[in-house]
C-alpha cells in the first residue's frame, strides 16, 4: 500500500449544494480549457539554446569538438567520415592558405613588385579576391559545423524516441525525395555565389580602397575607408560631375520609363479596340523592332543621326545647315534623341506585356461604367489604368531600374565624348556610362566602385519603396 | 478492417495558431462521417492530417489498427477527392486514373479491369480518352471519384468535392456519392461547410468550430438535441430563433418569462426533469425555437402577439419574418404554403413547447444536454479497490465520484461500483436512449443503447472502476489519473534543475544509452500533473505524479536518477530543488533486502559532477511543495 | 430625332476608327522604317554611308554580303568566325541556363523550406546592383581561372547568372495548383517522378520562353564579350560589328541583317511563348 501525498488543499468556501454543482461544472469547463492550454503550449519541442545544452548528450558534444565524431559514434560511418574529412580539409586549407589569405586581405600586400629587380611583388587585387574567397570558405565551414551539430542532435532525439540513427542509404533517399530541393539548389547556388555575389562583394570592397589611376598592380593598393565617397561629394573635379550626372540620370530614368510605359500602354489599348482588324499584322511591326538585337538598332540610329548620315543629307540637300544631332554641343537634342530611340526599342516590350494583361481584364467593369455615364477618358483613368499598374508594378520597377542603368543607349549614340566641366564624361552620360569611362577606360576603379554603390543605393531605395507600398506587395507575400 | 481512430490530435502552426484542438474520434468501418463547420474551423486540416498531407503536431492516427503518423500518404491505403478535382490536365482520363496504380507497379491488365469497372459505376466509360479540359464540372468530379475508386482504398477522403458545382448538379451528385458509399461499402470521411450536405449524407456528423469538436452524433440527434447554441443555429435553415428569457420557479412550477413581468410559458414537467442542473433557475437563459416549430394555431398558453414584416413565399412553404415587441431581431416562422397570413398582419404565433431548447447565457451550452460527467457523493467503502489505487489523495469518507453517462452499465460485472438508480424519464435519441433519474437523491443521467420504457422504474447500475474518477469536493480537482489504468502510479520527482529533466524513482531498472523514457501524455490533476511515460527498453508504461511544469511536452525524453537508500529512507540527489520528495517507505516498492546503490539506473552521463550522491534530508511525509 | 442621333453616332464611330487606323499606320511606319533602311543599306554597292542618297543607297549590289563572308584578312574582321563563335556560345548557354533556371524556379515555387524567404529577399536585393559593378571582379576572376579570351568563360558567366532571373519562371510554376501535386503524392509518385511526368509536360511554354531568351541574349550582349575577348578571332558578332565605322556602313548593315533575320524569324514563330512567358512573371491576379 503506498502512502499518498496529501495535497495542501485550497479551502474554498462554497455555498449550498446547488451552487456547489454550479461551480463544479464551471470548474470543470475551465479546467479542461487550462489543460488544453498547457497541452498545446508544451506540445512543442523547445529549441532554444539553454534547452539544447541541457539535453545534448555526449555524442553531440563530441561532434562539437571534432566534426563527424558524433556521427561515427552513432555508427553513421559514411556521414561521419564525410564531415570528418571536411574538417580535416578545412584545417589544412586554413593552415596552408587560409590564414595567409585573410592576413593578406587586410594588408593588401606589403611587397611592391619591381620588374627591374625581378621581384615578384604582391598583387593586391588578387589578394583581395582570394581573401573574399577565403571568407566564403569560412562561412561555409561555419555552416557545415552548424549542420553537423544539428544533425547529431536530431539523431539523438530520434534515438530517444525509440528510432535508429539514419543510415546513409536513408539520407540519400531523403535527398532524392523529401529534401530534393537541397540537391537541386546546390549547383545554381554555387554558380550564383561565385559569379554574382563574389564580384559584388569585391566591388563593394574596392570602393573602400584606392585602386585606380596610378595605383594599379604591381603597385600596392591600400584601404582608404570612406575617402572615395568624400571625393564624390566634395572633390573639385569629381563632385560636380557626379551631381550633374546624377540629376540627369534621375530625370532620364523617370521620363523614359514614363514615356515608354505610356506609349506602350497606349499602343496596346489601341490594338485592343474592337474596330481594329488584323491585329496580328499590326502587332508584327513592333515585334519586328523588339526582335532585332539592341546594339544593331543603336548603332543604326547613331549612323542615322550622324553628321554624314541620311537625315543630315536630306537636310543639306534641301538647303539647310547640317545639324549635329549628337555632337558635342547638342545637349538637349542628344538627350531627346536618346529618349526617342529608347522608346523605339522598349515600347514593343511594354505593348506585348500590357496586351496580355488587358485581355485578362474584366469587361463587366466597362459596361457598368458606361451605364454610369462615364466617358471613355474617365473609364481609362479610373478602371484600366489602376488595374494595369497594379498588375505590372514589378515590371514598372524593373523598367525603371533598367532605364536608370541603360548603358547601351548613350554609349552607342554618343560614346566616348568628354566635355569640359565633366570629369571623363559628357552631358548625356548616365552614371553607368561614367562608371565605364572611369573604370574600364581609365582605371579609376575605386571611384567607379563607389559610384556603383551610390547607384545601387538609389535604385534599391526607389524600387523597394515603390514595391513595398504597392498593392501588389501588400496583397501577396511571395512575389506572385 | 478500415476503422479510423484519431487520438488527441493537435495541429498548431507557429506555436500560436491552433488549427485543431484535441480532436478525438473513432470512426467505424463503412461509416459515412461528415466533418462540418464554418470556414477555418479545422475540418479540412484534420482531413489532410488523416491523408498524410499535413504533419500532426501531436496525437495519433490509426487507420485500420495501424499507426500511420509517420506513414507517407501513398502507403496509408487512402484515396482523396479534392475540391478542385486536381486532375492532371495533360493526361487523358484513362491515364489520370491509372497513374496511381502504375506507380504501385500493378500489372496493366488489372489496371485496365479496375478502370473499366470504376468507369462503369460512374457512367464515364465513353469519356476515357478525353482530357480534363474537354469535360464539364460534373464529369470532372466523377473522374476524380473514379481515380479514387480504382485505388481500392480502406478509407475515402473527400474535401468539399461539391463546392465547385452549380446547385442542381450538387443535389444530383450528393445522391450519387451516397449511392457510391452504399455500393462500395467502405469508410467515407467527407468535409463540407454546407449543413444541408452534412445532414443528408452522413451517418454521423462531427460539428467543428475554431478547431474544437462541438458535437458528434447522428444528424437527427444533432438537430433535435444540439449540445450548444452554435450547433443549434448552425444546423437548420432558416436558423433557430433565440430569445433571452428568465427561468422562474413560481410556486413549484417552472416558467420561462419574456422580459420582466412579461409573457410566461409554463415548462412542462417532463422537460424540467431533463434539465442538466437546477441551478439555472432564477437565471437569465436563452430560449430557442426553430421556425418550423412555430405555427399559426396551437395551444393558447404558448402564443405571442406579433406583427408580420416580411413574407417569403418559397412555393413549398412560407417564411414569415415577424416583429415581437421588445425584441430587435426578426422572429422567423415557417408556415404552410397555403397560409392566409399577409404582410403587415398582426397575428398570434403559437410555440410548440415540446420542441423547446434552452441554453445557458454564459457558455451557450444547452440546458438539456447530456453532461460529460455525473458527480455523486459516494461512500468510500463502496468503491472498488482499483479506484483508490489511481488516486493521489487519501479518499475521505465522502468522496465526490464522477463518471461519464456512457459508462453506466446495467449488468453486473466484476470490479464495479453498484448503485441504485431510479429512472424518472427516458428520452429516445434514436441511436441511443438518455435516462434521467435520481441516485441517492442526486440527479443522475445515463446514456445507453439498451431499451427502456419511458416510465418510472428502479434499476441497479454498475460502473466499472476504470471509468470512475474522483474529485476533491472543495476544489473539484480531479484526483485520479485517466490513462494507463493498468499501470501502477508511482510517485516521482520531476525536475528541470540542472542539465536534464529527470524523474526519481527507485523502481525503474531500465537502462539504455542515457535515456530511459519518453512522455506519452500527461494529465492535469489540480496543481499537479500525472505524467504517463513509456520506458524505452521494456516498453512498460508508468504514471508519475509530479509538479506542474510548463516545460513538459509530449515526446520529451526523461532520465532517471540514482538514489541511495539510507537509514531506511531514500535519499536523493538534490541540487537545489525543493520539489516534493518521496517518502522512504513509499518509494520502496523495492524490497528491503535489495541493494539500491547499484540497481537503480541513472542516466546522467553528461553531468560533470561525479556520481556522488548527496544525501538529503527528507521532508516529512505530507509536506508539500510550498508552491501549492 | 433618333435618325439624326444614329447618324451622329455612326459618324463618330467612323471618325474614331479612321483615326485609330491612321495612328496605327503611323506607328507601323515608325517601327518599320529603320529596319527597312538597314536592309536596303546592306544592299548598297558602296560601303560608305556618304554615298547614300538620303536614306537610300545610290546603287544596289550584293557586294557587302559577299565581302562580309570573304574578307577575313583585313584587320579586325572575321565575320564567319564571329558568327560561329556566337552560335556556339548561344547554344551552350541556352542549354545550361535553361536547365539551371528551370530547376531553381521550380524548386523555389514548389518547396517550402526555412531558408526560402530570406533567399528570395536576398536575390531580389542582389539583382538591384548594377550589372556593371561586378565586371572588373569578373574579369579578374576569369584571369585567375585562365578563362579570359575563352568562350567557356562567357558561357559560364551567362549560365551562372541565369538563375538570378528565376522570378518569371517561378511565376509560371506558381500557377500549377498544389492540389495536383498532392494528388500525385497520394498516387505514390516521388518528387522526381512528379517533376518528370506532371510539371514538365505542363511547362512547355515557359521552357520555350526561357530557351529562346537565353539563346538570343548572347547575340546582343556586347559588354561582356568586349571585356573578356581579346583576339579578333574570338570575337562575337556584337563586338565585331561594334568596331565598324561610317565608311563600312553597308557592311555593318549586312552583318546586322544577317544575324537579325534568324532571330526575328524565331521570335515570330514563338511569339506566343514569349507573351505567355512575359505575362507569367508579371501578371498578378
Average pLDDT of the residues in B573-583: 29
pLDDT band at A26 (very low <50, low <70, confident <90, very high): very low
Residue B418's DSSP bridge partners are B462
Cα–Cα distances in angstroms (integers) from residue A407 to residues A24, A415, C223, in the given order: 79, 10, 9
Position C62 pLDDT exceeds 90: no
Percentage of residues of chain C with pLDDT beyond 90: 6
Query: Is residue A188 assigned to a domain?
Result: yes
Non-local CB neighbours of A341 within 8 Å, separated by 6+ positions: A297, A298, A301, A409, A413
A477 has a pLDDT exceeding 60 = no
Render pLDDT for A107-151 as a digit per residue (tens, 0 to 9): 776 666 566 666 666 677 777 777 888 888 888 888 888 888 888
With an 8 Å Cβ cutoff, is C152 touching chain A?
A: no
A309 backbone dihedrals φ, ψ, rounded to 5° = -80, 175
Asked whether the predicted pLDDT for residue A35 surpasses 90, the reply is: no
What pLDDT does residue A471 have? 54
Q: Would the pLDDT of C248 be above 70?
A: yes
Residues A199, A306 within the same domain: no
Please answer yes or no on whether B104 and C188 come within 8 Å at the CB atom: yes
Residue pair B474/A10 in contact (Cβ under 8 Å)? The answer is yes
ipTM above 0.95, yes or no: no
Q: Please check whether residues A234 and A370 belong to one and the same domain.
A: yes
Mean pLDDT of chain C, nearest integer: 80
Contact yes or no for B183/B149 (Cβ under 8 A): no
Query: If contacts are CB pairs under 8 Å, which of residues 320-349 in chain A contact chain C?
Result: 344, 348-349
Q: Is B92 helix (H, G, I), strand (E, B) or coil?
A: coil
Mutate to test the interface with A, among C23, C82, C133, C255 (most CBs of A within 10 A): C133
Q: What is the pLDDT of residues B222-251, one digit of tens each?
A: 999 999 999 999 999 899 999 999 998 888
C242 pLDDT exceeds 70? Answer: yes
**Minimum mean pLDDT range among B212-221, B418-427, C37-46:** C37-46
pLDDT grade, residue B350 (50/70/90)? very high
On average, the pLDDT of chain A sits at 74
User: What is the predicted pLDDT for the residue at B492?
Assistant: 54
The structural architecture, per CATH, of the domain C74-243 is Orthogonal Bundle (1.10)
Q: Interface partners of B (3+ CB pairs, < 8 Å)?
A: A, C
B500 near A CB under 8 A:
yes
Do A261 and A119 belong together in one domain? no
What is the nearest CA distance from A42 to chain C, expressed in angstroms? 22
Among chain B residues, the shortest Cα distance to C198 is held by B88
Q: Residue range B263-273: average pLDDT?
A: 86
For chain B, list the domains and their CATH numbers.
4-231 (3.40.50.300), 236-360 (2.40.50.140), 374-471 (2.40.50.140), 484-628 (no CATH)
| Domain boundaries of chain C, sorted by first residue | 2-66, 74-243
pLDDT at A14: 24
Q: Are residues A364 and A262 in the same domain?
A: yes
CB pairs below 8 Å between B and C: how many? 54
Which range is most confident: A376-390, B272-286, C47-61? B272-286
Q: Does any domain span residue A73? A: yes
Residue A152: which domain range? 58-206
**pLDDT classification of B552: cutoffs 50, 70, 90:** low
- Asked if pLDDT for residue B301 goes beyond 70, the answer is yes
In total, how many domains does chain A have? 2
Which chains touch C (3+ CB pairs under 8 A)? Answer: A, B
Per DSSP bridges, beta strands B469-471 and B517-525 are unpaired
Residue A86 in domain: yes
Q: Write the residue in A5, A44, A58 that is nearest to B605 by C-beta.
A: A58
Domain membership flag for residue A17: no
Closest CA to B525 of B458, B477, B474: B477
CA distance B627 to B170: 60
Q: Smallest Cβ distance to A126: which of C110, C144, C267?
A: C144
Q: Which three cell numbers stand for residue B558?
A: 526523461
**Do A328 and A373 have their domain in common?**
yes
For residues C66 and C251, is the Cβ–Cβ distance under 8 A? no
Q: How many angstroms away from the CA of C100 is the closest CA of chain B?
A: 24
How many percent of chain B have pLDDT more than 90?
23
Sheet with B528-535: strands ordered across: B489-491, B541-547, B528-535, B517-525, B557-560, B502-504, B493-495
**Residues A357 and A397 placed together within one structural domain of the fold:** yes
Least confident of A332-341, B87-96, B161-170, C143-152: C143-152
Instruction: Tell me which chain C residues have a C-beta less than 8 angstroms from the C-beta of A318.
Output: none
**How far C190 CA sits from the closest chain B CA (Å)?**
9
pLDDT higher than threshold 50 for residue B581: no
| DSSP H or E segment with residue B70 | none
Asked if pLDDT for residue B281 goes beyond 50, the answer is yes
Instruction: Measure the CA–CA gap between A164 and C125, rounded to whole angstroms.
Output: 43
What's the pLDDT at B85?
A: 85
Q: Where residue C283 falls among pLDDT bands split at 50, 70, 90?
A: very low
> So what's the pLDDT on residue C280?
60
Contact at CB, B100 and C193, closer than 8 angstroms: no
- Whether the predicted pLDDT of A53 surpasses 70: no
Taking a contact as any Cβ pair under 8 Å apart, which residues of chain A between 3 and 62 contact chain B? Answer: 3-12, 14, 18-19, 21-25, 27-29, 31, 34-36, 38-46, 53-58, 61
Evaluate if residue B589 carries a pLDDT over 60. no
pLDDT at B14 over 50: yes
The pTM assigned to this predicted structure is 0.75
Q: Do A43 and B394 touch (CB under 8 A)?
A: no
Render pLDDT for A297-341 as a digit per residue (tens, 0 to 9).
888 888 888 777 777 777 777 777 767 777 777 778 888 888 999
Local confidence band at A353 (pLDDT 50, 70, 90 cut-offs): confident
C-beta atoms of A31 and B524 within 8 A: yes
**In chain B, what residues touch A46 (CB-CB under 8 Å)?**
551, 553
| pLDDT confidence of residue B617 | 22
Residues A312 and A456 in one domain: yes
C145 CB-near residues (< 8 Å, 6+ apart): C153
Contact A257, A247 (CB under 8 A): no
**Per the structure block, which three cell numbers stand in for A303?**
549612323
For an interface test with B, give the residue of A22, A23, A39 to mutate (most B CBs within 10 A): A39
Bridge partners, residue B400, by sequence? B377, B471
Q: Match 531523403 to its residue by C-alpha cell.
A: A174
Last residue of some domain: A171, A206, A241? A206
Confidence at residue B520, expressed as pLDDT on a 0 to 100 scale: 67
CA-to-CA distance for A345 and A293, rounded, in angstroms? Answer: 10
d(CA A113, CA A116): 9
Residue B10 touches partner A, C-beta closer than 8 Å: yes
Task: Give the range with max mean pLDDT: A217-221, A348-352, B238-242.
Answer: B238-242
In C, minimum Cα distance to A478 occurs at C117
Residue B18 has pLDDT above 80, yes or no: no
pLDDT, tens digit, for every residue of B475-522?
666 777 665 433 444 555 555 544 455 665 555 544 443 456 666 666
Statement: residue C156 has pLDDT above 80: yes
| Confidence at residue A218, expressed as pLDDT on a 0 to 100 scale | 64
Residues A200 and A242 in one domain: no
Pairwise CB contact (< 8 Å): B15 & A44: yes
Q: Residue B156 contacts by C-beta under 8 Å, 6 or more apart in sequence? A: B78, B79, B80, B81, B148, B181, B184, B186, B187, B188, B189
The values of phi and psi at residue B213, to 5°, are -75, 130
Least confident of B48-52, B417-421, B600-604: B600-604
> Which positions in chain A touch B391 (Cβ < 8 Å)?
4
pLDDT of the residue at B389:
66
Q: How far is C226 from chain B (nearest CA, A)?
A: 45
- pLDDT band, residue B558 (cuts 50/70/90): low
Q: pLDDT of A422-461, one tens digit each?
A: 777 777 888 888 888 877 777 777 877 888 888 788 878 8
Range A166-193 average pLDDT = 78
Q: Is the peptide bond before A218 cis (omega within 30 degrees of 0)?
A: yes
Report residue B62's pLDDT band, with 50, 70 and 90 as the boundaries.
very high
Mean pLDDT for the stretch of residues B564-579: 38
pLDDT digits (tens, 9 = 90+) for C4-32: 667 787 888 888 888 888 888 888 888 88
DSSP A255-270: HHHHHHHHHHHHHHHH
CATH code for position A316:
1.10.3720.10
Same domain, A197 and A313: no
Asked whether the predicted pLDDT for residue B269 surpasses 80, the reply is yes
Mean pLDDT for A64-84 is 80
CA distance C201 to chain B (A): 7
A269 and A170 in one domain?
no
What tens digit of pLDDT does each residue of C88-123 get?
999 999 999 999 999 889 888 888 777 788 888 788
pLDDT score recorded for residue B352? 92
C179 part of contact set with chain B, CB < 8 Å: yes
Which of C279, C280, C281, C285 best probes binding to A when mutated, by most A CB atoms within 10 angstroms? Answer: C279
Q: Is residue A176 part of a domain?
A: yes
Amino acid at each position: 500500500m503506498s502512502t499518498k501525498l496529501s495535497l495542501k488543499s485550497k479551502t474554498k468556501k462554497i455555498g449550498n449544494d446547488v451552487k456547489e454543482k454550479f461551480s463544479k461544472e464551471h470548474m470543470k469547463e475551465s479546467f479542461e480549457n487550462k489543460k488544453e492550454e498547457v497541452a498545446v503550449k508544451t506540445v512543442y519541442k523547445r529549441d532554444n539554446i539553454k534547452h539544447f545544452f541541457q539535453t545534448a548528450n555526449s555524442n553531440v558534444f563530441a561532434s562539437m569538438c571534432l566534426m563527424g565524431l558524433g556521427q561515427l559514434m552513432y555508427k553513421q560511418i559514411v556521414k561521419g567520415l564525410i564531415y570528418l574529412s571536411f574538417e580535416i580539409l578545412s584545417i589544412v586549407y586554413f593552415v596552408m592558405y587560409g590564414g595567409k589569405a585573410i592576413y593578406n586581405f587586410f594588408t593588401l600586400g606589403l611587397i611592391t613588385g619591381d620588374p627591374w629587380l625581378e621581384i615578384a611583388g604582391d598583387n593586391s587585387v588578387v589578394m583581395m579576391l582570394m581573401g573574399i574567397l577565403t571568407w566564403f570558405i569560412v562561412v561555409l565551414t561555419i555552416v557545415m559545423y552548424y549542420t553537423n551539430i544539428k544533425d547529431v542532435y536530431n539523431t539523438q532525439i530520434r534515438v530517444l524516441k525509440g528510432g535508429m540513427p539514419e543510415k546513409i542509404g536513408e539520407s540519400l533517399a531523403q535527398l532524392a525525395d523529401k529534401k530534393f530541393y537541397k540537391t537541386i539548389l546546390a549547383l545554381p547556388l554555387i554558380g550564383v555565389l561565385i559569379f554574382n555575389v563574389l564580384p559584388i562583394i569585391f566591388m563593394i570592397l574596392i570602393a573602400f580602397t584606392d585602386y585606380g589611376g596610378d595605383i594599379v598592380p604591381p603597385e600596392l593598393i591600400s584601404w582608404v575607408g570612406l575617402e572615395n565617397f568624400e571625393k564624390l561629394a566634395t572633390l573639385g573635379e569629381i563632385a560636380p560631375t557626379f551631381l550633374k550626372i546624377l540629376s540627369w540620370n534621375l530625370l532620364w530614368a523617370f521620363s523614359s520609363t514614363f514615356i515608354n510605359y505610356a506609349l506602350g500602354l497606349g499602343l496596346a489599348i489601341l490594338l485592343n479596340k474592337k474596330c481594329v482588324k488584323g491585329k496580328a499584322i499590326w502587332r508584327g511591326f513592333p515585334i519586328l523592332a523588339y526582335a532585332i538585337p539592341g546594339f544593331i538598332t543603336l548603332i543604326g540610329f547613331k549612323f542615322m543621326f550622324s553628321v554624314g548620315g541620311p537625315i543630315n543629307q536630306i537636310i543639306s540637300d534641301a538647303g539647310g545647315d547640317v545639324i549635329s544631332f549628337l555632337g558635342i554641343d547638342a545637349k538637349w537634342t542628344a538627350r531627346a534623341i536618346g529618349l526617342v530611340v529608347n522608346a523605339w526599342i522598349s515600347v514593343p516590350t511594354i505593348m506585348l506585356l500590357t496586351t496580355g494583361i488587358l485581355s485578362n481584364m474584366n469587361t463587366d467593369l466597362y459596361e457598368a461604367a458606361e451605364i454610369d455615364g462615364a466617358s471613355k477618358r474617365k473609364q481609362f483613368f479610373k478602371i484600366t489604368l489602376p488595374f494595369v499598374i497594379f498588375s505590372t508594378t514589378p515590371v514598372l520597377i524593373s523598367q525603371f531600374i533598367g532605364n536608370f542603368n541603360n548603358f547601351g543607349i548613350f554609349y552607342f549614340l554618343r560614346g566616348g565624348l568628354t566635355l569640359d566641366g565633366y570629369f571623363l564624361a559628357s552631358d548625356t552620360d548616365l552614371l553607368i556610362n561614367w562608371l565605364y569611362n572611369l573604370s574600364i577606360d581609365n582605371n579609376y576603379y575605386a571611384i567607379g566602385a563607389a559610384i556603383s554603390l551610390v547607384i545601387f543605393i538609389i535604385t534599391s531605395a526607389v524600387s523597394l519603396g515603390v514595391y513595398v507600398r504597392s498593392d501588389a506587395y501588400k496583397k501577396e507575400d511571395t512575389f506572385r | 478492417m478500415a476503422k479510423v481512430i484519431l487520438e488527441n490530435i493537435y495541429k498548431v502552426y507557429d506555436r500560436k495558431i491552433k488549427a485543431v484542438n484535441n480532436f478525438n474520434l473513432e470512426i467505424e468501418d463503412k461509416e459515412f462521417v461528415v466533418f462540418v463547420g464554418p470556414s477555418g474551423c479545422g475540418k479540412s486540416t484534420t482531413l489532410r492530417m488523416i491523408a498524410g498531407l499535413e504533419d500532426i503536431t501531436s496525437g495519433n492516427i490509426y487507420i485500420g489498427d495501424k499507426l500511420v503518423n509517420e506513414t507517407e500518404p501513398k502507403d496509408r491505403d487512402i484515396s482523396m477527392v479534392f475540391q478542385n478535382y486536381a486532375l492532371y490536365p495533360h493526361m487523358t482520363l484513362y491515364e489520370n486514373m491509372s497513374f496511381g496504380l502504375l506507380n504501385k507497379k500493378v500489372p496493366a491488365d488489372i489496371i485496365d479491369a479496375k478502370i473499366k469497372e470504376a468507369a462503369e459505376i460512374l457512367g464515364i466509360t465513353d469519356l476515357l480518352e478525353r482530357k480534363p479540359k474537354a469535360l464539364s464540372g460534373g464529369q470532372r468530379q466523377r473522374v476524380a471519384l473514379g481515380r479514387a475508386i480504382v485505388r481500392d482504398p480502406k478509407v475515402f477522403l473527400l474535401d468539399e468535392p461539391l463546392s465547385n458545382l452549380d446547385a442542381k448538379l450538387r443535389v444530383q451528385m450528393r445522391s450519387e456519392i451516397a449511392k457510391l458509399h452504399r455500393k462500395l461499402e467502405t469508410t467515407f470521411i467527407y468535409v463540407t461547410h454546407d449543413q444541408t450536405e452534412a445532414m443528408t449524407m452522413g451517418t454521423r456528423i462531427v460539428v467543428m468550430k475554431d478547431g474544437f469538436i462541438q458535437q458528434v452524433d447522428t444528424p437527427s440527434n444533432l438537430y433535435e438535441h444540439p449540445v450548444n447554441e452554435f450547433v443549434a443555429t448552425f444546423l437548420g435553415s432558416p436558423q433557430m430563433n433565440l430569445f433571452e428569457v428568465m427561468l422562474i420557479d413560481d410556486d413549484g412550477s417552472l416558467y420561462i418569462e419574456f422580459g420582466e413581468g412579461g409573457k410566461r410559458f409554463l415548462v412542462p414537467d417532463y422537460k424540467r426533469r431533463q434539465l442538466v442542473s437546477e441551478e439555472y433557475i432564477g437565471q437569465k437563459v436563452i430560449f430557442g425555437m426553430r421556425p418550423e416549430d412555430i405555427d399559426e394555431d396551437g395551444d393558447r398558453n404558448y402564443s405571442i402577439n406579433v406583427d408580420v414584416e416580411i413574407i417569403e413565399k418559397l412555393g413549398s412553404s412560407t417564411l414569415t419574418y415577424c416583429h415581437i415587441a421588445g425584441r430587435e431581431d426578426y422572429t422567423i416562422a415557417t408556415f404552410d404554403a397555403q397560409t392566409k397570413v399577409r404582410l403587415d398582419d398582426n397575428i398570434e404565433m403559437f410555440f410548440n413547447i415540446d420542441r423547446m431548447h434552452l441554453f445557458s447565457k454564459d457558455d451557450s451550452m444547452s440546458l438539456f444536454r447530456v453532461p460529460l460527467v455525473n458527480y455523486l457523493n459516494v461512500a468510500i467503502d463502496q468503491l472498488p479497490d482499483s479506484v483508490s489505487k489511481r488516486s493521489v489523495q487519501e479518499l475521505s469518507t465522502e468522496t465526490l465520484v464522477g463518471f461519464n453517462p456512457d459508462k453506466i452499465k446495467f449488468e453486473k460485472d466484476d470490479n464495479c461500483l453498484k448503485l441504485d438508480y431510479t429512472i424518472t424519464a427516458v428520452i429516445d435519441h434514436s441511436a441511443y436512449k438518455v435516462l434521467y433519474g435520481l441516485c441517492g437523491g442526486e440527479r443522475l443521467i445515463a446514456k445507453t443503447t439498451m431499451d427502456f420504457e419511458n416510465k418510472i422504474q428502479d434499476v441497479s447500475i454498475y460502473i466499472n472502476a476504470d471509468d470512475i474518477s474522483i474529485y476533491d469536493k472543495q476544489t473539484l480537482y480531479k484526483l485520479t489519473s485517466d490513462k494507463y489504468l493498468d499501470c501502477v502510479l508511482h510517485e516521482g520527482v520531476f525536475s528541470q534543475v540542472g542539465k536534464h529533466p529527470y524523474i526519481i524513482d527507485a523502481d525503474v531498472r531500465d537502462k539504455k544509452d542515457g535515456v530511459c523514457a519518453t512522455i506519452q501524455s500527461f494529465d492535469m490533476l489540480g496543481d499537479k500533473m500525472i505524467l504517463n511515460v513509456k520506458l524505452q527498453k521494456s516498453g512498460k508504461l508508468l504514471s508519475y505524479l509530479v509538479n506542474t511544469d510548463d516545460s513538459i511536452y509530449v515526446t520529451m525524453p526523461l532520465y532517471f536518477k540514482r538514489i541511495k537508500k539510507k537509514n531506511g529512507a531514500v535519499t536523493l540527489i538534490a541540487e537545489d530543488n525543493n520539489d516534493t520528495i518521496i517518502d522512504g517507505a513509499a518509494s520502496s516498492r523495492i524490497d528491503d533486502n535489495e541493494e539500491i546503490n547499484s540497481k537503480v539506473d541513472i542516466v546522467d552521463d553528461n553531468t560533470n559532477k561525479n556520481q556522488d550522491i548527496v544525501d538529503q534530508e527528507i521532508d516529512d511525509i505530507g509536506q508539500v511543495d510550498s508552491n501549492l | 430625332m433618333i435618325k439624326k442621333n444614329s447618324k451622329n453616332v455612326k459618324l463618330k464611330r467612323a471618325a474614331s476608327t479612321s483615326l485609330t487606323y491612321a495612328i496605327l499606320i503611323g506607328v507601323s511606319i515608325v517601327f518599320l522604317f529603320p529596319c527597312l533602311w538597314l536592309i536596303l543599306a546592306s544592299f548598297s554597292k558602296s560601303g560608305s554611308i556618304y554615298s547614300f542618297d538620303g536614306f537610300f543607297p545610290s546603287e544596289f549590289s550584293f557586294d557587302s554580303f559577299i565581302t562580309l563572308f570573304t574578307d577575313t584578312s583585313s584587320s579586325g574582321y572575321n565575320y564567319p568566325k564571329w558568327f560561329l563563335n556566337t552560335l556556339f556560345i548561344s547554344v551552350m548557354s541556352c542549354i545550361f541556363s535553361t536547365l539551371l533556371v528551370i530547376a531553381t524556379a521550380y524548386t523555389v515555387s514548389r518547396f517550402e523550406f526555412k531558408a526560402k524567404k530570406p533567399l528570395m529577399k536576398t536575390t531580389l536585393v542582389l539583382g538591384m546592383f548594377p550589372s556593371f559593378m561586378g565586371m572588373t571582379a569578373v574579369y579578374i576572376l576569369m584571369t585567375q581561372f585562365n578563362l579570359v579570351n575563352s568562350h567557356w568563360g562567357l558561357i559560364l558567366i551567362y549560365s551562372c547568372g541565369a538563375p538570378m532571373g528565376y522570378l518569371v519562371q517561378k511565376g509560371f510554376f506558381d500557377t500549377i495548383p498544389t492540389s495536383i501535386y498532392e494528388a500525385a503524392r497520394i498516387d505514390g509518385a516521388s518528387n522526381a517522378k512528379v517533376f518528370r511526368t506532371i510539371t514538365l509536360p505542363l511547362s512547355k511554354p515557359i521552357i520555350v520562353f526561357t530557351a529562346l531568351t537565353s539563346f538570343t541574349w548572347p547575340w546582343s550582349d556586347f559588354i561582356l564579350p568586349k571585356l573578356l575577348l581579346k583576339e579578333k578571332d574570338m570575337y562575337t558578332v556584337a563586338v565585331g560589328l561594334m568596331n565598324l565605322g561610317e565608311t563600312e556602313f553597308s557592311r555593318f548593315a549586312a552583318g546586322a541583317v544577317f544575324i537579325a533575320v534568324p532571330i526575328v524569324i524565331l521570335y515570330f514563330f514563338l511569339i506566343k511563348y514569349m507573351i505567355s512567358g512575359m505575362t507569367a512573371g508579371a501578371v498578378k491576379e
